[in-house]
Amino acid sequence: MSLPRLLRQRGYATGAAVSSYVLRSETGLGALFDFYEDSFGTIPGVQSVNYQRSGDKTAAFAEPWIGEHAGKPFFFLFHIYEPHVPYDPPEPFRSRYGATYDGEVATSDAIVGAFLDSMKKLGVYDRAIVIVTSDHGEGLGQHGEQQHSIFLYREAIRVPLLVKLPANSGAGSRVAAPVQLSDIFPTVTAALGLPTPKEVSGTSLFAAGATGAAGRVIYGETLFPRLQLGWSDLHSALDARYHYIHGPRPELYDMVADPREEHDLAKSDPATVSRLARELYRFPKGSAKPASVDQETMRRLSSLGYLGTLRDGGNGADLLNPADNLPALRRMEEAWHLASEGQVPRAIEVLRSSVRENPGMFDAWVKLGELLSESGLDEEAAASYRQALDRSPVFLPDISIALGFVELRRRRFDEAERLARASFATLPSKAHELLAGLALARGNLAAAESEAQAAAASRNPQPSAILVLAEVKLRAGEPAEALRVIEKAQAVSREKRLGAIYNLEFLRGDALARMDRLEDAEAAFRAEIAAFPAHAQPYASLAVIRFMKGDRPGLDRQLNEMVRANPSPRSYLLAASTLDSLGEKERAVAFRNRSKASSHEARR
């Protein structure tokens, strides 16, 4: 039972607006709500799990819905994602804090404050229960982890939990006992005078406050090291004073005397270790491989982007201790940084080294596949994606779709189709996009149009799905119809406040060029480049226009700009094929040789 489902059964309207792709509707969350807004722009070369939007854009969807339902009982989930990398706060917070975590937190405070102000203007704030919390903190290097997920130290697991009751009842009260996020459900039901379902864990904060701080033990776990990196999972138990972390090397900290958890007492205080270890074993362990009856739950968890390698059986004693593998983690983080700086060959080199030394590093395999795919090394990209999939206990649709597009480029059509059809349950729109591309590659325009229509007709379609139909119309020689579809995609983008959409202006330019509207086409291609400088195709199209106008220096300039903006083997090959198509065979040779050199560098 979930809180939105319970309240929905009691006559509440339920809505949500989220700011991260990992909470998209297809994870199963959308089905819990009457209204669920999860629009995200998609950009090739950015792992889908990192798609996000600013909290103020999310609020722009939340506030109208709340205004429409202000006169009746409702439940709304408002989710923001600001305090995550990359740290890129807007002004005035950037000038005040720089590109830092503090700047992101200050931005979050401002967004939440503005949202609560809007609730007051709508007249719902005073009579509402408002809960502000977070799912995790951030390591910031305190114990060697810059972000979160790997360790269970307090900087990661201690989060704010603020509850405002109607008419500010109980304002200023504090609960001294340790509490946990699972306490939110029974706290809400208690405040509303509703029975709490028996299967719900947690304790109402009203009850937690009454029982005092003495006896309660809070459980914590992180399966991320095991699932994503092939290391040991960690589990913890804490009371009002002590925090015990169970792993290959158990740790114990006195949080009162040592709040930064810098002095491990596991060897000097075995009695407390033994007591909290006994408490820990009262909680269910989440590290065993799921039975077949649990596969649906695992599928939904995988769609959140958090499941990777999971080994059979055992208690994790044979797995590596995360704290002893920080150098490997830092190498992987170095690869992420190099890739973000455009140093793709170097990032590939670091990731290859990482997976050789730690083949269980699921995230490293995924990133390596992504970078190899960007570089035009599709055979190796496919192998890396398959290594990632082999380390997962369940079918991972995002990675499978990415692999499907690689297999499409490799002309392994049957395998691409298998991957697309296997992904329908969780990513129907992307599966139809892949099938549309496959039909185009096979020369079946009718099937391509059918699949493109299905992608555009999926629930809450994104502009990228609609644009697939524009590509089909262009291939069918219907540029005017393609323009109509492009305008529809742009209207959806405006409605969803998504900003620039990858490939939209390029497709517009392509349609206009086919209608001999070269000046308008050139403007569209330049708009695509301004928004997405690494998109190679519009440079090549501009080069063709320059050639058609007799501007040979302009032709060379555009192609050289293209490979400077995206110096990958695929870009060099595109430059060569563009020159080939224009009859410039000799000049194409230089770019083809540069492609070979770039491929060799990436393969080293």
Higher-confidence residue: 120 or 25?
120
Using alpha carbons, select from 280, 285, 244, 283 the residue that is nearest to residue 152. 244
Higher-confidence residue: 537 or 324?
537
Residues of the chain with CATH 1.25.40.10: 324-529
The pLDDT assigned to 459 comes to 67
> Residue 247 above 80 pLDDT?
yes
Output the CATH code of domain 536-604. Answer: 1.25.40
Q: Which of 184-188, 221-225, 296-300, 354-358 has the lowest mean pLDDT?
A: 296-300
How many angstroms from the chain centroid is the CA of residue 393?
A: 20
The pLDDT assigned to 397 comes to 84
Burial of 218 (0-12, 13-18, 19+ CB in 10 A): buried
74-102 average pLDDT score: 93
Name the pTM for this structure.
0.76
Angle at 294 between CA 196 and CA 292, to 5 degrees: 155
H or E element, residue 526: helix 518-531
Q: Which residues, 6 or more positions from 251, have their beta carbon under 8 angstroms from its beta carbon?
A: 244, 245, 264, 266
501-529 average pLDDT score: 95
Both tokens of 322, joined, read: 């995360």
Instruction: Report the C-alpha gap between 217 and 241 in whole angstroms.
Output: 10
Q: Which residues, 6 or more positions from 240, have their beta carbon under 8 angstroms from its beta carbon?
A: 176, 177, 178, 213, 214, 216
The pLDDT assigned to 314 comes to 42
Q: Are 482 and 470 in contact (CB under 8 A)?
A: yes
The pLDDT assigned to 602 comes to 57
Count helices and strands in the chain by DSSP H and E runs: 26, 9
317-344 average pLDDT score: 84
Instruction: Report the C-alpha gap between 32 and 40 in whole angstroms.
Output: 20
Both tokens of 353, joined, read: 């080294």
Q: Which residues, 6 or more positions from 385, have their beta carbon under 8 angstroms from its beta carbon?
A: 365, 366, 369, 399, 402, 403, 406
324-529 folds as 1.25.40
**Per-residue burial over 367-400, b = 16 or more CB atoms within 10 Å of its CB, e = otherwise:** bbbbbbbbbbbbebbbbbbebbbebbbbbbbbbb
571-584 tens-digit pLDDT: 888 999 999 998 88
Angle at 20 between CA 395 and CA 497, to 5 degrees: 125
Instruction: Report the C-alpha gap between 570 and 602 in whole angstroms.
Output: 12
The pLDDT assigned to 176 comes to 81
For 40-83, the three-class secondary structure string (H helix, E strand, C coil) is: CCCCCCCCHHHCECCHHHHHHHHHHHHHHCCCCCEEEEECCCCC
| Strand ranges across the sheet with 251-254 | 218-222, 234-238, 242-246, 251-254
Distances (CA, A) of 135 to 106, 158, 180: 17, 9, 10
> Residue 307 above 50 pLDDT?
no
Burial of 49 (0-12, 13-18, 19+ CB in 10 A): middle
How many angstroms from the chain centroid is the CA of residue 374?
A: 18
Using alpha carbons, select from 86, 49, 52 the residue that is nearest to residue 366. 49
| Helix/strand/coil for 238 | strand
The DSSP 8-state label assigned to residue 198 in this structure reads T
Q: Which residues, 6 or more positions from 596, have their beta carbon under 8 angstroms from its beta carbon?
A: 569
Q: Are 351 and 367 in contact (CB under 8 A)?
A: yes
| Helix/strand/coil for 178 | coil
Instruction: Report the C-alpha gap between 271 and 284 in whole angstroms.
Output: 23
Please name the residue ranges forming H helices in 212-255: 224-229
> Residue 455 above 70 pLDDT?
yes
Q: Are 241 and 257 in contact (CB under 8 A)?
A: no
pLDDT tier at 93, thresholds 50, 70, 90: very high
For 370-382, the three-class secondary structure string (H helix, E strand, C coil) is: HHHHHCCCHHHHH
User: In this structure, what are the phi and psi dihedrals at residue 29, rounded to the nearest 5 degrees?
Assistant: -70, -35
Both tokens of 315, joined, read: 């208690």
Please name the residue ranges forming H helices in 410-503: 413-422, 428-441, 445-456, 463-475, 479-495
Hey, what CATH class is 3-215 in? alpha beta
Residues of the chain with CATH 3.40.720.10: 3-215
Q: Are 226 and 309 in contact (CB under 8 A)?
A: yes
- The per-residue pLDDT of the chain, averaged, comes to 87
Q: Which of 28-42, 80-94, 204-218, 392-406 has the lowest mean pLDDT?
A: 204-218
pLDDT tier at 291, thresholds 50, 70, 90: very low
Token pair 């983690």 is at which residue?
Answer: 329
The region, left, alpha or beta by phi > 0 then psi within -120 to 50, assigned to residue 596 is alpha
